[in-house]
Amino acid sequence: MTGFDAVGAAYTAHSAGARGRLRHDLVERRLLAELPDRPCRILDVGCGSGEMTLRLASAGHRVTGADPSARMLAAAAGRLATRPRLSARVRWLRADIEELPLGGRRFDLVCCHGVLMYLDEPGAAMARLTGLVAPGGLLSVLAKNRHAIGVREALRGDRATARRLIESGADRSVGNLEVATRGDTAEELDRLAARYGLVPLPWQGVRIFHDHLDDSWSPTPAAYTEALELEWAASWRSPHRDLGHLVHTLARRPPCA
């Protein structure tokens, strides 16, 4: 049983709420803007309950969702079963990032969202992920933002914890699922992508002004749209983006000459 077998239901519930949806909507918007206008081959590493896998398949792409947690994959398969028109475009693979049984396959987009924070360091994962990107293809990494550790705690009023995290320059904090997770910086992820031959694209900060809300936040549709557009506008711009709870980095492998 992986750690996520135990917390999977809590994560699925978080993803369904407005605060979880904000993150998925922002990331999906960027990916659809960057992808070419044709069906692409996509790998979603650490796909969890399949939120982005299914969104990308709905957009017409062929997506493999990989995750080591049997429970997360079962949840993902259950969601796919309710949308049979997508089934020909989606495959599930039970595998850890360290042992992806993909032979020599390469993808137009490799996603790794919300996974690096559970690993001790990002270097080995970035080496594997970049190696799976086809010429002209993209790597999309969504990671916890190390620069923003302590911001959520401060805005929630837990000043003592926030001060301790900020003064110590902590690289991890307790996340949504009550598990301590590690932060990365966009600069370091871009540097690693470049080391393996990819060209970094502008990165975005994700969930800047709404991260400290809890999962009971339930805005009206109009208020949700306002929140989404505010987050999107700020996500590109420093200093706002530097305070996003997550960073979304993208990098492209140059096409073959």
Ligand X SMILES: C[S@@+](CC[C@H](N)C(=O)[O-])C[C@H]1O[C@@H](n2cnc3c(N)ncnc32)[C@H](O)[C@@H]1O
User: Can you give the binding site for ligand X, defined by CB under 6 A?
Assistant: 2, 4, 11, 15, 45-48, 51-52, 67-69, 72, 96-97, 113-115, 118
C-beta of 174: minimal distance to ligand X in Å?
14
Report the distance separating Cα 68 and Cα 8, nearest Å.
12
Length of the chain: 257
Report the distance separating Cα 58 and Cα 77, nearest Å.
15
Of 78 and 254, which CB lies nearer to ligand X in the complex structure?
A: 78
Distance of CA 221 to the CA centre of its chain: 24
Minimal CB distance to ligand X: which residue?
A: 48
Of 51 and 211, which CB lies nearer to ligand X in the complex structure?
A: 51
| Phi, psi of 155, rounded to the nearest 5 degrees | -70, -20
C-beta of 163: minimal distance to ligand X in Å?
27
Of 51 and 108, which CB lies nearer to ligand X in the complex structure?
A: 51
Of 99 and 226, which CB lies nearer to ligand X in the complex structure?
A: 99
C-beta of 39: minimal distance to ligand X in Å?
21
C-beta of 226: minimal distance to ligand X in Å?
24
| Phi, psi of 85, rounded to the nearest 5 degrees | -65, -15
**What contacts 154, CB < 8 A, 6 or more positions away?**
162, 166
